[in-house]
Structure 1
Amino acid sequence: MTSTERTERGARHHSATAVIPDGAPSATGTTATATRYPLAGIRLALGWIFLWAFLDKLFGLGRSTPAANAWLDGGSPTAGFLGKAATGPFAGVYHSMAGNAAVDTLFMTALLGIGVALILGIGMRIAAAAGALLTVLMWTAVLPPETNPFMDDHLVYAAVLILLALLGAGTTWGLGRRWAATALVRRNTWLT
């Protein structure tokens, strides 16, 4: 083995064990490609959770909202949860908001917008921020959580939503690339 070959072999060995600097992508091409698909699946699943909640409350499909309480039939999508299930230090605030038409409209708009954005893979930053805010607010409505001192699925959803936006999960099985290429989004990058 020549000295040049030993130097190249040593450089390859050194680069294989090198520490990856902060901020540098750490996934290899294969890992990054394989990761895109589970992230897209998680994005679609969360999108369906938000969209289903909207549809169930709108039509009273009988899962968490009985037909008699459908929003289209004059029911309130916030009356049950905020009016009856809210507990803890913020219960009074949430009880006072329950059944308010403006709160109902805002809540339903958020569920629909977040669900559609996640399913389509567009507006991921806004969907993640709005979804994280909504789920954290829902977490504060039931403090402390029933089965854990502080952690519940609402906080996990918030973290996952933010992660999906940061990792660009809207580009696989979604319209994220096309959305980002539009003139509107190129002028307003916060819409990606």
Structure 2
Amino acid sequence: MSNQPAEAAIRTELFGSNIEFGYSQTWLAYSLLGLRIVMAWVFLQAGLEKLFEGGLSEPLAWSSTGFLTNAIAEANPLYGLFQFFAGYSAIVDPMVVFGQILIGLALLIGVAVRFAALMGAIQMTFFWTAAWQGGLMAGFPVEHGYFVDSSFVYLLLLFGLGAWGAGRIFGLDATLEQTAVVRNNPWLRYLLG
């Protein structure tokens, strides 16, 4: 038995061009596991900080209202949408807090990773669009540049974790996919992986 990393190749079409490249399956698995754990930490920490912002005696003191009413630039093309959300903080706040905690836990234990990645990507899309300082004609400026900020990077990382099915690597998704429920309902594989 060789101690050499398992090599594989990807053959696909991307933007009309045939692409082929080799990669190490071992190092891909390590990198996906590492990215999944890091993204789990990002979400879990953010959610828990919000949950306990008021301390243990006053959980869920955090509110999105201040951010939504004061931090969104008026030049942001979605300014009106975020002002609308500010009026529903009783719904938005628990969705953000508990959404982040559940996304973090799902990524951490590797269960329903594709679904968690999708929900995280949706949340990151909202955070990213909230950071726009202007619209298309201004180049969608964000605080430290144009177009790309950390929320956009997280969005792409979550897309990759879902696309590769990172929950199968030291996660419960690999076990769940072998159950009779999933075998009899193949559509559930779109949530797992």
TM bucket by the smaller chain?
0.7 to 0.9
Aligned partners of 1:38, 1:48: CA distance in 2, in Å? Answer: 15
Aligned partners of 1:72, 1:180: CA distance in 2, in Å? Answer: 40
Are 1:177 and 2:174 an aligned pair?
yes
1:77 is aligned to 63
Aligned partners of 2:33, 2:121: CA distance in 1, in Å? Answer: 18
2:191 is aligned to 191
Aligned partners of 1:25, 1:176: CA distance in 2, in Å? Answer: 28
Matched ranges for 1:14-93 at <5 A? 21-22=11-12, 26-28=21-23, 31-60=24-53, 67=54, 72-73=58-59, 75-87=61-73, 88-93=76-81
2:108 is aligned to 119
CA offset digits 1:57-89 (Å, max 9, x no partner): 1111xxxxxx37x89445243123323322222
Asked whether the 8 Å contact 2:46–2:100 carries over to 1, the reply is yes
Query: Residues 20 and 95 from structure 1, CA distance in 2 versus in 1: closer, same or farther, beyond 3 angstroms?
Result: closer
Asked whether the 8 Å contact 1:124–1:170 carries over to 2, the reply is yes
1:105 is aligned to 94
Query: Residues 86 and 22 from structure 1, CA distance in 2 versus in 1: closer, same or farther, beyond 3 angstroms?
Result: same
Q: Say which SS state the counterpart of residue 173 (structure 1) adopts.
A: coil
Greater per-residue helix proportion: 1
CA offset digits 1:30-56 (Å, max 9, x no partner): x01121011101100101110111100
Query: Residues 138 and 40 from structure 1, CA distance in 2 versus in 1: closer, same or farther, beyond 3 angstroms?
Result: same
Greater per-residue strand proportion: 2
Aligned partners of 1:181, 1:85: CA distance in 2, in Å? Answer: 47
Structure 2's unaligned 5+ residue stretches are: 1-8, 14-18, 133-140
Aligned partners of 2:162, 2:59: CA distance in 1, in Å? Answer: 35
Aligned partners of 2:36, 2:100: CA distance in 1, in Å? Answer: 14
Aligned partners of 1:52, 1:170: CA distance in 2, in Å? Answer: 20
Q: Say which SS state the counterpart of residue 125 (structure 1) adopts.
A: helix
Aligned partners of 2:112, 2:118: CA distance in 1, in Å? Answer: 10
Letter in 2 for 1:160: L
TM-score scaled by length of structure 2: 0.74
Higher-Rg member (1/2): 1
- For this pair of structures, how many residues does the alignment match? 165
RMSD over aligned CA atoms reads: 2.6
Q: Say which SS state the counterpart of residue 170 (structure 2) adopts.
A: coil
Letter in 2 for 1:151: V
